[in-house]
Amino acid sequence: GEPLLVNGLARGREIEERVAKTIEQVGLRIEHLRRFPHSFSGGQRQRIGIARALVVNPSLIVADEPVSALDVSIQAQILNLLKDLQAEYGLTYIFVSHNMAVIRYISDRIAVMYAGKLVELGEKQEVLSHPRHPYTELLLAAVPRTVNRQRGHRIITPGEPPDLMSLPQGCVFQNRCKYVKDICRQEEPQLRTVGSNHFASCHIVEELTLQGISARAAAPASTAPATA
């Protein structure tokens, strides 16, 4: 009930009632409220974190790598829970993740960042199927393919990420980009329109044909118990 107290949204008995209702909405039971933190599994801890955010009736939830430390079956449960809650309460998520397979399932729009810079932004279908920045292509190359699909070409990226305290002149991705040209080392590219509601910051975007993936993502399968 701490979020309710801190924000002055409820007091006394009302706190208990709202906490009890919310904990059940995330797939846990009332008796879980009497347990110590160390007794919960990773999935249960994530559900509790979601409940703490949900109890204050937000319109926006920022989720920073909410499933990265969980195994695949539990990831699926948490993602499905988030989608169900979004549909029920009309929530907006800012979902931060390095896992493009997860992003493909949970997102409507995608913003790709590298070294603190926004390098691509657009609707999910466009960004995944028709990436326009080399770093987006690199991320998509890491998405696992099913065995019966034709494998895409493997992308080997040289170099090291830049020092965030001393970013290079020009494009922040220049040291790792296989398409780099002189202008990339001289001028910082600006985000510009490359399609309908699709933006990228790349000097040579018109010259590139990059490999994407299907934007379609079936609901992840899950056989683990609902309270995991």
Neighbours of 205 (CB within 10 A): 18
Neighbours of 218 (CB within 10 A): 6
Secondary structure class of 96 (helix, strand, coil): strand
The residues pairing with 113 across neighbouring beta strands, listed in sequence order, are 118
Torsional class of 106: left (φ above 0), alpha (ψ -120 to 50), beta (otherwise): alpha
Q: State how beta strands 92-96 and 60-64 pair.
A: parallel
Provide CATH 3.40.50.300 ranges for the chain: 2-97
pLDDT at 146: 54
Rg (CA), the chain: 21
Dihedral pair phi/psi, residue 199, rounded to 5°: -135, 145
The CATH code belonging to domain 2-97 is 3.40.50.300
Q: Which two tokens stand for residue 176?
A: 């790792």
pLDDT at 220: 54
pLDDT at 156: 65
Mean pLDDT by 10 residues, the chain (228 residues): 66 77 90 86 92 90 92 92 95 94 93 97 95 94 62 66 92 94 96 96 93 68 41
pLDDT at 17: 83
